[in-house]
Amino acid sequence: MSQARGLQNFISDLRNAKSKEDESKRVSKELANIRSKFTASSSLSSYQKKKYVWKLVYAFMLGYDVDFGHAEVVSLVGSAKYSEKQVGYVAMSLLLKAGDSMMNMIVNSIRNDLVGSYDDAATSLALTSIANVSGIELMQALHVEVQRVLVSPNATPAVRKKAALCLLRLIRQLPDSIASADFAPHIANLLQDRHYGVLTSTMSLLIGLTSKHEQEYETMIPYAIHILSTLVLKKSVSPDYLYYRTPSPWLQIKLLRFLQYYPELMSSGEAYVATLKQCLARILNDTDVSDSINKSNADHAVLFEAISTIVVFGDSGDEDLQLAAMRLLGKFISVREPNIRYLGLMTMSRLAVLHNNTNKEQIKTFQSVVVHSLKDADISVRRRALDLLFVMCDQTNAESIVDELITYLVAADAGIREQMVLKIAVLAEKFATSKKWYVDTILKLISISGDQVSDSIWHRVIVIVTNNSDDDLQQYVATTMFDVCSSKNAHVKAVAVGSYVLGEFGFLIAEEAGKSGEVQFQVLHQHWPLIDTNTQGIMLTAFAKMYNLYEEIRPIIDPIFAKLKTSVDVELQQRSNEYRVLGSLGPEIMEDILREMPAFDTQKVSTLEIALDQEHSDTHDVNVFKKKDSEAAKRGSKVQQLQQPEPEILIQPEPEPDLLGGFDEPEIAAIVPPTPPPGNKTSVTCNDPAAVAAGFAKLLSTPQGVLFQNEYVQVGVKQEFRGSQGRVQLFAGNMCRGGDFTNFKITIPEVPYLRTAIQDEMGATNPAGCTVSPKQQARLMIMAEAIAPYSEAPAFTITFETANATHSYPLRLPIVPTSFTEPVTVDKAAFMGRWGQLAPKESQEIVTVSRTVDSAMMQQVAALLTGMKYGRCQEVDSPTTCSGCGTMKTGAKDGQGNPISVGCLVRIEANADKFRVTARTLHPVVSQGVKETFCKALKML
């Protein structure tokens, strides 16, 4: 194999390799050669540096690890030659990651290229690299310079385009990094630029800003309409931006999308409203199918955006435009082209949601066409047809639509079945012509697609049947479920419903021939070996109720209870033992306990509709058709949203607060540690466990404080948590006047219950460590996400050396289960009911405090409960108790992709100088962790 003398030879050698092993050997040989060149010589020529760095980039792109050469990349970025700078920026974008320590060394070079250089090429390289790397520290350090480049009167169109797109990438990561009220005038100036490339990039930026701050950019509406009229009415655009004779279709789409954020625009009475109507009418009337596929796609993209704009304006819009849009949509959902049919169905479903009853009646005339689309070969078209049928359904056509959907459900593929089942259930409940029809519909769903029927669906059947005792619904359902369960092939969900119904209402049909209590028992018991333990628990309760009602079957049921008292399933074991004991307590007590279930609490919102909303809860599609509630801002980059800087515009960012000055008095007298006698270094570690425990306990309920401090080092923490994510800033300061900390390291072992990302400014987490000078700090940013229940706070160790000692401090981060808790407020009945249900998963401990508990200390306990983000339940409390309720959020997902949360209840009871802490949660590990967290905090009161 010939020796490579340049990048082309190296690439050629790799392409000619006969096997993966040969390629790997060649790459390893070349990397070893490059490493030796970088370490042996500090006077490489410009050609050699570029050549070797290009080889590193190429090897990295092939998937090989490249963990050296970063210093040379920094050197190339800072070079005055464009050829070297180009290589440096490309390598930086690929080889350096957001949290690399080398990134701090490169910030000044990038800043010089942004604001200190008159070379457009260098500025463009810097902007592109900032957008590609997307590091939080890099963006925080340079977002002001990017804004300056964008608004600079001396910037060329090419640079402005890149600056606008770079700033768009920045606000997606740090939404509050721009003070919108101050930045709006700069956007207005950019919208007056005559270069359509700048306008297109500016509109992308404006849409991103408007999605976060609509009111601040409402003044941009006249500018957007003026540009739109220039493109649509005057068709005035440079030839470079004519796409198949269509003036800049991408800019038209962005302008229309921006206007959709202001649905009341048409009723504002402003003069520009007439111009907007003309533009929309021209787009609707002049768009036609073209022989050129590219032109047709571009024109129809603009057309559908215009229709979406008309849809958003709703009843305040122009009626003629609405009718024209309706005619076009009716045409589009009938064409053979799947892309156009997909867009037509999606837009018409939006129209049905946002418009009045008159328009909805017009949409219903296309019901047969939409039903036909359910049989389309493209599943995405089928999904949109299902959405449209769902929103066009009302009391007049509910039965026909539900029947059509059930008919199609038999042949539907697995990709759409679950969504169809949920929507059929919602429609059947919402527009039920009779409760019997509703029950029959749900039973059809269970028989056709029982595996896709969620628990919330058949639970609603139980609620509706139980709450309707005035008519013959309960008897009808009991008869129906008896017939369904008589079949040995009944689905497990049908058996669950049948067990509940026959247990509660089977007595209504017990006098009928062939439906006695014994026969009902046999009908249910035949399914026992084939059902899961949850359904067995429901059936066991039904047996207990039959035991109470029919004396003749007690000898048959007694052996079942006796057999299950040693069941491996704890739930079945507990139920069987409790039901066996009931028989010995007397008939009055047993009858009182096993009487009919009372009516369920009615809910304003159906649990099925809640489940339907959750179906799309994780989408990242931010548009004006989605209701932007408080949770919408939490989607996207969840951990990164905790890292938003204070809003500022065109000013240098303020330095971070000094930990040593922030946690102590303004002026601290530095302590010079005593000098030990000459000889080997002494070993220093934590010599005051009580002080360590006190610092840790204080941080359990406060956002910042000192975790540990002695005469050498001070360790402080600032923390913020939202849901299942948190950000913890760790500061370690040198308190000595006598010398540096050398080999300073912070070791944080990985734990299985947290997903962490660490950003290190000084290299304290590197194996080689770093040096911390007197009165200086080492800082870490730890982004953490809970991914599993846990009880123990993660550990970390700080080690360093001074002139005469080796230091090692094992500590724990205050990231405990209560950190990821969100408060929940419940009434007394709900709290006590849940408290009883969670009794088997209880964790309890008695804590002794240093003084007698009084009212003042109970106020501290209440504040502690609130500080740990638990909602108070004062209705159940006495002067000597405090109770709270919360939910621990995790980033783990269940089988359906929903985030897993753990409900938590806490009760703290005082007696003399003791507290009894009781935690009950859905998970025993969390119960233990919550209990231990409160105990540690109470010991410090």
| 3-state secondary structure string across 739-762 | CCEEEEEEECCCCCCEEEEEEECC
Please report how many Cα atoms fall inside a 13 Å half-sphere around the Cα of residue 443, on the Cβ side: 21
Query: DSSP letters along 749-799, please?
Result: ---TTEEEEEEESS-TTSTT-EEE-TT-EEEEEEEEEE-S---SPPEEEEE
- Please tell me the predicted confidence (pLDDT) of residue 619: 38
Tell me if 5 is assigned to a ligand binding site.
yes
360 appears as a binding residue in the annotation: no
What gap in Å lies between CA 695 and CA 62, rounded to an integer? Answer: 49
- How open is the CA angle 885-573-546, to the nearest 5 degrees? 100
The helix (run of H) or strand (run of E) holding residue 223 is helix 221-232
The pLDDT score that the predictor gives to residue 624 is: 53
| 383 marked among binding-site residues | no
Q: Is 37 annotated as a binding residue?
A: yes
Closest CA to 886 of 930, 936, 928, 918: 930
Residue 51 assigned ligand-binding role: yes
Query: Is 148 within any annotated ligand binding site?
Result: no
User: In this structure, what token pair is assigned to residue 395?
Assistant: 């009391």
Q: Classify the C-alpha dihedral 374-378-379-380 as positive or negative.
A: negative
Distances (CA, A) of 898 to 457, 823, 890, 894, 935: 17, 20, 10, 5, 32
Q: Where are the beta strands (DSSP E) in 123-202?
A: none
In the beta sheet, which residues pair with residue 704?
718
Q: Take residue 825 and report the two structure tokens written for it.
A: 């407020």
Q: Is 705 marked as binding a ligand?
A: no
Q: What is the DSSP string of 339-350?
A: HHHHHHHHHHHH
337/730 Cα distance (integer angstroms): 58
- Give the pLDDT confidence score for residue 845 in this predicted structure: 92
Read off the tokens for 305: 């955006």
With a cut of 70, list the residues of the chain below it in pLDDT.
Answer: 1-5, 41-42, 98-101, 134-135, 289-291, 354-359, 470-471, 602-680, 737-738, 761, 895, 897
pLDDT single digits (tens) 518-533:
999 999 999 999 899 9
CA 818 to chain centre: 19
* Residue 672 annotated in ligand binding: no
Cβ-contact 769, 744 below 8 angstroms? yes
Output the pTM of the full model.
Answer: 0.57
The reported pLDDT for the residue numbered 1 is 34
Does 893 count as an annotated binding residue? no
3-class DSSP assignment, residue 61: helix
Of how many residues is the chain composed? 941
pLDDT at 639: 30
Angle at CA of residue 76, ends 74 and 82, nearest 5°: 140
If DSSP codes are grouped into helix, strand and coil, which group holds residue 687?
Answer: coil
> What is the predicted pLDDT for the residue at 608?
61
Cα 164 from Cα 205, distance rounded (Å):
6
